[in-house]
Amino acid sequence: MSEYLLDMRGIVKDFNGVKALDGIDLKVRPGEVVGLCGENGAGKSTLMKVLSAVYPYGTWQGQIFWEGKELKAHTIRQTEEAGIVIIHQELMLVPQLSVAENIFMGNEIRLPGGLMNYSAMYKRAEELMAELKMPDVNVALPVYHYGGGHQQLIEIAKALNKRAKLLILDEPTSSLTKAETEILLDIIRDLKRKGVACVMISHKLDEIAAVCDTISVIRDGAHVGTRPMSGMDTNEIITMMVGREIKNLFPREEHPIGEVFFEARNVTCLDVNNPRRKRVDNISFTLRKGEILGVAGLVGAGRTELAMAIFGCYPGQYDAELWLDGKQISVDSPRSAVMQGICLVPEDRKRHGIVPLQGVGANITMAVLKDYARYGVINSEKELHQIEKSIARMRIKTASPDLPIRGLSGGNQQKAVLSKMLLPNPKVLILDEPTRGVDVGAKYEIYKLMFELVKQGLSIIMISSELPEVLGISDRVLVIGEGQLRGDFINEGLTQEQVLTAALGQSSELAA
């Protein structure tokens, strides 16, 4: 018998003649944790979709050997029965169903008569929540009650509940906090001890380094190399990924910072379901012209809600007094925000950022379509010109601007959403987790672009859960904890510890 649990050979997959995978091999031993690395659009998710039969046998070429035998699976259920369980990059939960129902979807526990055994499912779901250190989650509540980080962990609980021999995690930590990430990494280590193998895809290379035995790098659908993690460092992974060395991950550039340009006063947001609870509790802050203001805090601290209130799209009751360039403004919808010069690139691009079935180009020009219209007729030549400019500027990887944006890799979708929000020429740009799911090379480009924009006088609010990013890019850092402003620091000599301490509310000192 082969020493490999999984042996994928010469996998080729094309989409309408465009090769996403061009003859890739991937081998995994029992209990081995393999880090699958590569830039946005390299083909990582596609390879895992081939493996899990999201793309059934026959829609790709090559061979998959599983426990020594060729696997020709036509459905995801077949691969799951074989012991291959995948957690997709984009969450697959049904928001209206309860946490427990989501965990057991397609896998329900039934009573002898065939009726659902809710009490058994609730009990097991609660056990899983405890295992993932989320005992406070009410498994009977609909999933939409919970934020991105919790939803990601619920998705993981769903996978853990299936009996996996190989667990595939496609960007599992992109919406997790540091603490949640640690829980997940511990679970992977624990599974490994139990003999479960794992393929982990992540753009956070320190996580890859922390938990993987082997690194496999792909570029443009081709295999670049496979190496043991021991004796390697993250810089070498980066060099393998992008084919060149990136010395400074945060290309901070000097830029002049002007007077206070934007101000939010007394922003308060009430919880949609429980108006007695404040998600944002009387936050006030200022933003200077040409400034990059980082907003740090734990996931669920109220940062996204704060951004939504400023952009006029908070779904519940809220109050916000906004001042722009010395004048009080009234924002009651995203439309009015955009018209007055405030743009938001949302955190959850699948829900708020893109129209999945529309073309990449149409998605980019969506917010400014009227600029190309005269007497109601769209000047498509002008529009196409702008689209091509945006695609080139952000180096969005797509075969054509007409392809549905859904087909783009995660990072490229993010770049398209960013392009869309730059077209209305905002004065204040709010970026909510702008580099989530974005590869190191593209991150670098996004940071460069941010500096280019502030040099032109734009002011940027960047919400980020990546402390190195917040500290590497921001001029000033706001720290939010439990809906309250816990710190406002000039970013000079500021440390991760200081920010975390403030976020946890152990010190309410305002340093700036």
Q: Which residues of the shown chain bind ligand ATP in the complex (CB under 6 A)?
A: 15, 20, 38, 40-46, 89, 397, 407-412, 439
Task: With CB under 5 A as the rule, give the number of residues binding Mg ion.
Answer: 3
Q: Two tokens at 424?
A: 């209305």
Query: 427 Cβ partners below 8 Å, 6+ apart?
Result: 261, 262, 324, 325, 341, 342, 457, 458, 459
Measured between its terminal Cα atoms, the distance across the chain in Å is 65
Q: Two tokens at 405?
A: 């944006």
Q: In whole angstroms, how close is the CB of 212 to ligand ATP at the nearest point?
A: 16
Helix (H) or strand (E) holding 121: helix 118-131
Q: In whole angstroms, how close is the CB of 203 to ligand ATP at the nearest point?
A: 6
Burial of 251 (0-12, 13-18, 19+ CB in 10 A): middle
Q: Residue 41 or 487: which CB sits closer to ligand ATP?
A: 41
**Mask for 60-89, x = binds Mg ion (CB under 5 A):** -----------------------------x
Q: Residue 289 or 397: which CB sits closer to Mg ion?
A: 397
425-456 CB burial, b ≥16 within 10 A, e <16: ebbbbbbbbbbbbbbbbbbbbbbebbbebbee
- d(CA 409, CA 42) in angstroms, rounded, equals 8
Q: Residue 41 or 300: which CB sits closer to ligand ATP?
A: 41
Nearest-10 Cα torsion for 114, 120, 126, 127: -120
Q: Residue 304 or 409: which CB sits closer to ligand ATP?
A: 409
Q: Residue 80 or 171: which CB sits closer to ligand ATP?
A: 171
Q: Residue 174 or 268: which CB sits closer to ligand ATP?
A: 174
Q: In whole angstroms, how close is the CB of 128 to ligand ATP at the nearest point?
A: 26
Query: Which of the choices Mg ion, ligand ATP, none does residue 41 contact, using the CB cut-off of 5 to 8 A by kind?
Result: ligand ATP
Query: Which of the choices Mg ion, ligand ATP, none does residue 353 contact, using the CB cut-off of 5 to 8 A by kind?
Result: none
Q: In whole angstroms, how close is the CB of 42 to Mg ion at the nearest point?
A: 8
Query: Which of the choices ligand ATP, Mg ion, none does residue 411 contact, using the CB cut-off of 5 to 8 A by kind?
Result: ligand ATP
Q: Residue 97 or 246: which CB sits closer to ligand ATP?
A: 246
- d(CA 460, CA 187) in angstroms, rounded, equals 37
Q: In whole angstroms, how close is the CB of 505 to Mg ion at the nearest point?
A: 36
Q: Are 48 and 86 in contact, with CB atoms under 8 Å apart?
A: yes
Q: In whole angstroms, how close is the CB of 30 to ligand ATP at the nearest point?
A: 25
SS3 231: coil
Q: Residue 300 or 410: which CB sits closer to Mg ion?
A: 410
Q: Which residue has the tokens 């295992």?
A: 131
Establish if 174 lies at the interface with Mg ion (CB under 5 A): no
**Mask for 408-437, x = binds Mg ion (CB under 5 A):** --x---------------------------
Q: In whole angstroms, how close is the CB of 52 to ligand ATP at the nearest point?
A: 13
Q: Residue 205 or 269: which CB sits closer to Mg ion?
A: 205
Query: 61 Cβ partners below 8 Å, 6+ apart?
Result: 10, 11, 12, 13
Site for Mg ion in 372-411 (CB under 5 A): 410
Nearest-10 Cα torsion for 333, 338, 341, 346: 90
Query: Which of the choices ligand ATP, Mg ion, none does residue 386 contact, using the CB cut-off of 5 to 8 A by kind?
Result: none
Chain position whose Cβ is nearest to Mg ion: 45
Q: Residue 302 or 410: which CB sits closer to Mg ion?
A: 410
Helix (H) or strand (E) holding 285: strand 278-288
Q: In whole angstroms, how close is the CB of 386 to ligand ATP at the nearest point?
A: 21
Q: Are 87 and 154 in contact, with CB atoms under 8 Å apart?
A: no
Give residue 197's Cα distance to chain centre: 24
Q: In whole angstroms, how close is the CB of 410 to Mg ion at the nearest point?
A: 5
Contacting range for Mg ion; rule: CB under 5 A; set: 44-52, 180-188, 213-221, 279-287: 44-52
Query: Which of the choices Mg ion, ligand ATP, none does residue 294 contact, using the CB cut-off of 5 to 8 A by kind?
Result: none
Q: In whole angstroms, how close is the CB of 110 to ligand ATP at the nearest point?
A: 35
Q: Which amino acid is at 420?
A: K
- d(CA 318, CA 315) in angstroms, rounded, equals 9
Among 33, 36, 41, 45, binds Mg ion (CB under 5 A): 45
Which of 87, 102, 181 is closest to 143 using CA atoms?
Answer: 102
SS3 496: helix
Taking each helix axis as running N to C, give the angle between helix 380-394 and helix 410-422, from 0 to 180 degrees, rounded to the nearest 10: 120
Query: Which of the choices ligand ATP, Mg ion, none does residue 439 contact, using the CB cut-off of 5 to 8 A by kind?
Result: ligand ATP
Query: Which of the choices ligand ATP, Mg ion, none does residue 84 contact, using the CB cut-off of 5 to 8 A by kind?
Result: none
Triad 17, 19, 23: Cα angle to 5°:
135
Site for Mg ion in 88-147 (CB under 5 A): 89
Q: In whole angstroms, how close is the CB of 240 to ligand ATP at the nearest point?
A: 14
Query: Which of the choices ligand ATP, Mg ion, none does residue 250 contact, using the CB cut-off of 5 to 8 A by kind?
Result: none
Query: 32 Cβ partners below 8 Å, 6+ apart?
Result: 5, 192, 197, 198, 213, 214
Q: In whole angstroms, how close is the CB of 39 to ligand ATP at the nearest point?
A: 7
Query: Which of the choices ligand ATP, Mg ion, none does residue 397 contact, using the CB cut-off of 5 to 8 A by kind?
Result: ligand ATP
User: Where on the chain is the footprint of Mg ion (CB under 5 A)?
Assistant: 45, 89, 410
